[in-house]
A = this chain, B = another copy of it.
Amino acid sequence: MPHRPPAQMALGSFAYAFGYHPAAWLQPGVPHDAATSLAHWVELARIAERGKMDFIFIADSPAVAPGPNESIARWTNSMNRPEPLTLLAAMAAQTTHIGLAATLSTSFYEPYNVARLFGMLDHVSHGRASWNVVTSDHQATSYNFGLDGLEPHALRYEKAREFFDIVCGLWDSYDDDAFICDPGSGYYFHPDRLHPLDHKGKHYSVRGPLNLARPPQGRPVIAQAGGSEAGKEFAAETAEVVFSIGSSIEESRAFYADLKGRMAKFGRAPDQLKVMPGIPVYVGRTEEEADEKLARLGASLNPAAGLSALQLFMTGVDFSGLDLDQPVPASRIDSNSNASKAIFGVAEQLLRQEGMTLRQMISRWAAQGSHTLFKGSPKQVVDQMEEWFSTGAADGFMVMHPVMPHDLTDFVELVVPELQRRGLYREDYSGTMLRDHLGLARPASRYAAPPARDEVA
């Protein structure tokens, strides 16, 4: 079956408070309280909305990065981060179209509370919520929740699958037309249109029903990001958006084909899941301007801050005591863990490149992490995006902006118009809900009667 891409791509803004680049917070004009400043986040959302982007996404984990204070004090992204549900709800009140997506871990929340939080976010935003379902993969997180470590990977996914079913069932507690508000009978809602869940499963017991009307989208858009075998099966069955690493176009094509190929056995059409690799975009009016932007950020990166950032992600490598201007010795590289290898393949490649100094490596890792770099003039960046989009590597992109809000603005003002000119992106929103933007069907309630024969024909 030849690849048939959707007519237009999807675009999410992968929004870190300061920006994706570890030197973002050191740039002039970046607010130091960005993580907790509603004004800052509203500005980001409105810029993305001006660019007609599908959604803004806030990654989350309920823990700080592990490590001694001396080391983590130089790292921004996980140390002071907004609680995403309250933040997105506040952003919803000051925007009209942009989708609002956040991570919430199935390992550290109760399904009833998750159903309420995301269900209400969908209500206050009039149908713009998206839940990125994760199981969490850092041991340290568990220590904040009375546990001595994470449960085994397979068990986490087994529980996540059950958790997900419960949350979806709770969202269906009331039929869409339940609230009849009939003065004659005194019925606020129709008694036949409320459904207790009565879930008694292997890992959870939740009676329900939810005390909340069905969300405007039926259910918030379901996103996932897992790359493991269990993660891909879970995504193929349930996800509508998948965030991927995109370390190369070849790897992305393989991931795309793999994931879409798993959907048929769950009775799902391939266009009901959007594969969206994360791409760090360094765009300038010219190629030279983009190069200068990248170089300037690299030069302003405090080496200690950069090294601590790298160390936090490549936990299997001990960088201590090394000379910044020498290559990393092979002996250190061999100590790399399997987990680091899988997740930080690009960084590991960099490590192995002979002759690259630790300082150069930090700089390059800071610019792109494990992702493919998208850099250049608007034409060059869009050429690259179009190649990925038209050859089965992506249905759209999670755009990672080096510095906020400047590089989100540059993306919206330089890249989006070129995408629109080529017909690759919408000129305007055609609806108000996130499902409208993404072309995703509104799920029927699990309690809905199957459509009559006439309606199907």
Instruction: Give A contacts to B, CB under 8 Å.
Output: 25-26, 32-33, 35-38, 42, 61-64, 69-70, 72-76, 78-83, 85-94, 108-110, 112-113, 116-117, 119-121, 123-124, 140, 143-146, 174, 179, 181, 183, 185-192, 194, 204-213, 302-305, 308
A62 with B113, Cβ < 8 A, contacts A86-B124, A211-B80 known: yes
- Contact between B120 and A179, CB atoms less than 8 A apart: no
Q: How far is the CA of A204 from the CA of B146 in the complex (A)?
A: 6
Contact A117 B212 (CB under 8 A): no
Interface centre among A119, A123, A304, A305 (most CB of B within 10 A): A123
Point out the residue from B85, B109, B210 that lies within 8 Å of A86, measured CB to CB.
Answer: B85
**Minimum C-beta distance from A133 to chain B (A):** 16
Pairs of residues from A and B, 10 with the lowest C-beta to C-beta distance, nearest first = A186-B302, A83-B120, A186-B305, A93-B93, A143-B207, A86-B89, A69-B191, A83-B116, A36-B123, A89-B89
The chain B residue sitting closest to A115, CB to CB, is B83
Please state if A213 and B33 are interface contacts (CB–CB under 8 Å): yes
Which residues on the B side are within 8 Å of A304 (C-beta)? 185-186
Q: Is the CB of A191 within 8 A of B108?
A: no
Q: How far is the CB of A17 from chain B (nearest CB, A)?
A: 11
CB of A344, distance to nearest CB on chain B (Å)? 22
| Nearest-CB residue, chain B, relative to A41 | B124
Q: Which residues of B contact A302 (CB under 8 A)?
A: 183, 185-186
Q: Cβ of A69 and Cβ of B194 under 8 Å apart?
A: yes
Are A26's CB and B213's CB within 8 A?
A: no
Q: In the complex, are the beta carbons of B36 and A83 less than 8 A apart?
A: no
Q: How far is the CA of A105 from the CA of B304 in the complex (A)?
A: 43
Of the candidates B90, B179, B207, the one whose C-beta lies within 8 Å of that of A89 is: B90
Chain B residues with CB under 8 Å of A146's CB are 204-206
Cβ of A74: which chain B residues have Cβ within 8 Å of it? 186-188
The minimal Cβ–Cβ distance linking A190 to chain B, given in whole angstroms, is 7
Q: List 15 A-B contacts (CB under 8 A).
A: A36-B120, A37-B123, A38-B92, A62-B116, A64-B194, A73-B194, A78-B211, A79-B189, A79-B211, A81-B212, A83-B120, A86-B124, A87-B120, A143-B206, A146-B204
User: How long is the Cα–Cα vector from A36 to B176 in the complex, in angstroms?
Assistant: 13
Which residues on the B side are within 8 Å of A70 (C-beta)? 191
Are A108 and B113 in contact, CB atoms less than 8 angstroms apart?
A: yes
Contact B208 A86 (CB under 8 A): no
Question: Is A79 in contact with B36, judged by CB distance below 8 angstroms?
Answer: no
**C-alpha spacing A121/B204, complex, angstroms:** 29
- Residues in B with CB closer than 8 Å to A187 are 73-74
Picked from B25, B93, B140, B204, the residue with its CB within 8 Å of the CB of A181 is: B25
Further pairs besides A80-B189, A87-B124, A89-B90: 10, Cβ < 8 Å: A62-B211, A69-B192, A72-B194, A73-B189, A78-B211, A90-B93, A93-B93, A108-B113, A144-B208, A188-B305
Question: Which residues from chain B contact A121 at a C-beta distance below 8 Å?
Answer: 86
Chain B residues whose CB sits within 8 angstroms of the CB of A26 once the complex forms: 183
Q: Is the CB of A124 within 8 A of B38?
A: yes
Q: How far is the CB of A427 from chain B (nearest CB, A)?
A: 28
The answer to whether A75 and B188 have CB atoms under 8 Å apart is yes
With a cutoff of 8 Å between Cβ atoms, the chain B residues found around residue A79 in the complex are 188-189, 194, 211
Closest to A144 in B: B112
A337 to chain B, nearest CB (A): 22
Cβ A32 vs Cβ B110 within 8 A:
no
Tell whether A179 pairs with B86 under 8 Å between CB atoms, given A38-B123, A211-B78: no
A193 to B73, CA, bound (A): 10
Whether B213 contacts A36 by the Cβ 8 Å rule is yes
The answer to whether A36 and B212 have CB atoms under 8 Å apart is yes
Give the one of A25, A112, A113 with max B CB within 10 A: A113
Interface centre among A72, A116, A174, A186 (most CB of B within 10 A): A186
